[in-house]
Structures are given as structure tokens and as C-alpha cells.
Chain A
């Protein structure tokens, strides 16, 4: 099992550009999550999904969109990149809500 994989590892965006951060898990987990982590800070939940076709907002959803068309994939979309979105983005998955979360290696995003 590869676990949770994220692409790209690193990306530089210009203000106003768009991009999609990819996240895939091969553990057949129902729950998937997107977090962001600013330098020296803890993780903040952006969006999460409890199954294919179901998504919900976390603490900091503004400026992001998600979709969950399959169990395996949970892409995060940035429509109009802003410098405030410079962060490290982590995707995670768990079998059920109360179970262990498995994290991907992260995507480092720089918006200039």
C-alpha cells in the first residue's frame, strides 16, 4: 500500500492563478481531510469528506473547493490564489471518523 499520496510536492503560484492539489489513498478509507499548516503553527482543517459525494467545511474553507467523486481521490482546488494561501497542505484519511488518520507527505505552496 502506498498509503496517502499527494502531488505536487512543491509549487509556486502567481496571485490570481488557479491550481488543484491532488490527494489519493489506497486504503479504502471512507473519511478524507485537507489541512493547511502555516509556518510554526498547528494544522487547520479546510474541508473533509465522509464518503464519495459528501463533503463539508472545516475551520478555514474560504478560497478553496473540494470534490469527492471516488473513494480514493479528494482533490483540493484553489481558484484565485492569494499570498495568504502560502502554506503547507496535508491530506489525510481514516477508515471511520473516530479512527486513526493517516497523513500524506504534504504539498508546499508559495503564492507570490
Chain B
């Protein structure tokens, strides 16, 4: 039970924004929302995380719904290097981390 649901795949044109959705309707008040991505033949790498409010870093932005039942990872300008599988994860200090199948993002030149 991944506890999150994401689309299997998405496509984006290069240099356009990408919005990757994640549903976590059973989230509890102490669950953080983490996003990781996995480039081909590499281990996953951290992208961003948040609890309640929207977050920005140099890689992406994370928009969290007011009821926290969904979130969206925003890549502001997709590059070919952003083609990867993106994982949305609920995480607490005491819970096991469950990775779902993620969203495979293709970037079209």
C-alpha cells in the first residue's frame, strides 16, 4: 500500500512547465510529503518535501492543497535531464517508507 496515487506517465515539451500530481487522501497530520526522482540507471535523489505550506527550492516547487489530500510537484522549465520517474511519498518519523510505482516523465525536445 503506497498510500499515494500518481499517474503512470506524463509527457512535457522541453522548456515548458510540468505539473506532476499526487493524491494522498488518507494523509495524517504528521505526514510529510516527499518527492524523489530516479534518473535512468541511478538511485533515487531527493527533490523537495513539505508539510503544510508551499515550498520552493532550486529544483522545483511543491504546491500542497489546503486539505493536504493532494499535492503537485512543479518543474518550472522542463529540460531533457528532467526525464525520470518521480515518486511522491508520505513520510513520518516512525512509519515505513513505501514507494509506489511513480510517474514516468518524458520530455520531448
Contacts and interface: CB of A to CB of B under 8 A. Distances in A.
B43 A59 contact: no
Interface of B: 2, 32, 34, 36, 42-46, 49, 85, 87, 91-102
A104 B34 CA distance: 18
A96 B46 CA distance: 15
26 contacts: A33-B97, A41-B101, A42-B2, A42-B85, A42-B99, A43-B44, A43-B99, A45-B99, A59-B96, A59-B98, A92-B43, A92-B44, A96-B93, A97-B92, A97-B93, A98-B91, A98-B92, A101-B36, A101-B44, A101-B97, A103-B44, A103-B45, A104-B43, A105-B43, A106-B42, A106-B43
Contacts, number: 55
Given A45-B97, A59-B96, 18 more contacts: A42-B87, A42-B100, A42-B101, A42-B102, A43-B44, A43-B87, A45-B98, A45-B99, A48-B97, A90-B43, A96-B93, A98-B91, A98-B93, A100-B46, A100-B49, A101-B36, A101-B46, A105-B43
Contacts of B100: 42
A105 B98 contact: no
A17 B107 CA distance: 42
B50 to A, nearest CB: 11
